[in-house]
């Protein structure tokens, strides 16, 4: 058996040493200051050492007290952590998924309820960033990236192809290209602007016209803000049809005319030998199924004739 002093005396000393007050230690342990003093005195007698210097309105640790206090503090902290671990409910599996801010807010977040139904017992941590996260760091399990799908040392699978076209609120009454001059044209900022970036200027070039905005312009730093402005009826936006698929299906937004500009594609990207293969597989299958549902819905939707052109720029 371990030769130890009474636990109550050790607890009283640790609380008094941490608070440097018998009164505060008594309040913490729900006893009287006299009881704390008695238990500390009992410990001092057991050790044969003085642990506190007692003054009229305060106490101070002696050299022996300063040596004993961190040992007891660490021991009690370890004991508390062990008890809490036993009492805590079992943690659910968590998988971290990263993507761009716009794709996260417009495509992923609205599908969280469907994810919970399809993957019970698995928590999904969503990380939104327009900067590509290093998947080898161990902080992120799966990424949805926009581009050509070539990622050295990583697995990449096509999720969905992107396209861009003018969209607006049906309240504007836009019917054809002749209505463009009656409303502001809504833009958002691209991280990289190249010749093939699907901007309003490129769209006008695709129909053989120079860019003009007699109705004015609205410019936003985020694509999701440009989409929200279009929903609010503030103008006509050139945005991703993937990101506004739900709004087009519900009639909140309309695509009154073409052509459409083809962009890059969204890809699922993960390490070649994933750490969480089983959990990642469940999320991967769910994402691919959701993308197929979206593709099937879009195939039933009539779109204006388009002349797509390849895009070489998009936030990754």
CA distance 277 to 131: 24
Is the CA virtual torsion 171, 202, 207, 247 positive or negative? negative
Q: Which of 239, 219, 115 is nearest to 247 (CA)?
A: 239
In three-state form (DSSP H/G/I as H, E/B as E, the rest C), the secondary structure along 25-58 is: HHHHHCCCHHHHHHHHHHHHHHHCCCCEEECCCC
Is the CA virtual torsion 172, 177, 180, 186 positive or negative? positive
Is the CA virtual torsion 204, 209, 211, 214 positive or negative? negative
Tokens of 32: 């009287």
* Whether pTM exceeds 0.75: no
- Residue 89's CB is within 10 A of a number of other CB atoms, namely 5
Instruction: Please say whether the beta carbons of 187 and 303 come within 8 A.
Output: no
Instruction: Please say whether the beta carbons of 299 and 114 come within 8 A.
Output: no
Look at residue 204 in the predicted model and tell me its pLDDT: 94
Strands 185-188 and 93-99, sheet pairing: unpaired
Q: Which fold has domain 7-87?
A: Arc Repressor Mutant, subunit A (1.10.10)
Look at residue 304 in the predicted model and tell me its pLDDT: 46
Helix, strand, coil proportions of the chain in percent (round to 5)? 45, 20, 35
CA distance 287 to 274: 17
Q: Which of 184, 190, 178, 185 is nearest to 200 (CA)?
A: 185
CATH for 94-299 (3.40.190.290, 3.30.70.330, 3.30.470.20, 2.40.10.10): 3.40.190.290
Q: Which of 144, 242, 226 is nearest to 189 (CA)?
A: 226
Give me the tens of pLDDT residue by residue for the chain, a chain 316 residues long.
678 889 999 999 999 999 999 999 999 999 999 999 999 999 999 999 999 999 988 899 999 999 999 999 998 889 888 887 777 555 557 888 999 888 998 999 989 898 988 888 888 889 988 888 888 777 888 899 887 766 777 888 899 889 999 999 999 999 999 999 999 999 998 877 777 788 999 999 999 999 999 999 999 988 889 999 999 999 999 999 999 988 998 999 999 999 999 888 899 988 877 667 888 888 989 999 998 887 776 666 544 444 434 433 444 3
Please state the φ and ψ torsions of residue 238, each to the nearest 5 degrees: -100, 100
- Would you kindly state where each structural domain of the chain is located, as residue ranges? 7-87, 94-299
């Amino acid at each position: 058996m371990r030769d130890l002093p009474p636990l109550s005396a050790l607890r009283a000393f640790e609380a008094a040493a941490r608070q440097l007050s018998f009164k505060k230690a008594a309040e913490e342990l729900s006893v009287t200051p006299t009881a704390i003093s008695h238990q500390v005195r009992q410990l001092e007698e057991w050790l044969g050492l003085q642990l506190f210097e007692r003054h009229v309105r305060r106490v101070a640790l002696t050299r022996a007290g300063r040596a004993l206090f961190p040992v007891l503090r660490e021991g009690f902290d370890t004991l508390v952590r062990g008890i809490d671990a036993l009492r805590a409910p079992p943690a659910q599996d968590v998988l971290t998924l990263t993507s761009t801010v716009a794709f996260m807010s417009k495509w992923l977040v609205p599908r969280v309820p469907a994810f919970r139904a399809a993957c019970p017992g698995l928590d999904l941590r969503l990380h939104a960033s327009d900067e590509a996260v290093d998947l080898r760091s161990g902080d992120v399990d799966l990424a949805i990236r926009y581009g050509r799908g070539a990622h050295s040392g990583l697995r990449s699978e096509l999720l969905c192809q992107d396209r861009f076209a003018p969209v607006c609120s049906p309240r504007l009454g836009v019917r054809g290209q002749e209505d463009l001059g009656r409303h502001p044209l809504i833009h958002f900022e691209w991280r990289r602007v190249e010749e093939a970036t699907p901007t309003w200027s490129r769209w006008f070039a695709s129909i053989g016209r120079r860019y003009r905005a007699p109705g004015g312009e609205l410019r936003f730093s985020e694509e999701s803000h440009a989409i929200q402005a279009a929903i609010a009826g503030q103008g006509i936006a050139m945005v991703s049809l993937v990101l506004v698929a739900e709004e087009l299906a519900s009639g909140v937004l309309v695509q009154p005319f073409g052509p459409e500009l083809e962009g890059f594609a969204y890809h699922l990207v993960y390490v070649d030998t994933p750490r969480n293969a089983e959990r990642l597989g469940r999320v991967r299958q769910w994402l691919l199924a959701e993308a197929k549902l979206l593709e099937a819905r879009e195939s039933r939707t009539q779109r204006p004739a388009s002349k797509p052109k390849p895009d070489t720029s998009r936030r990754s």
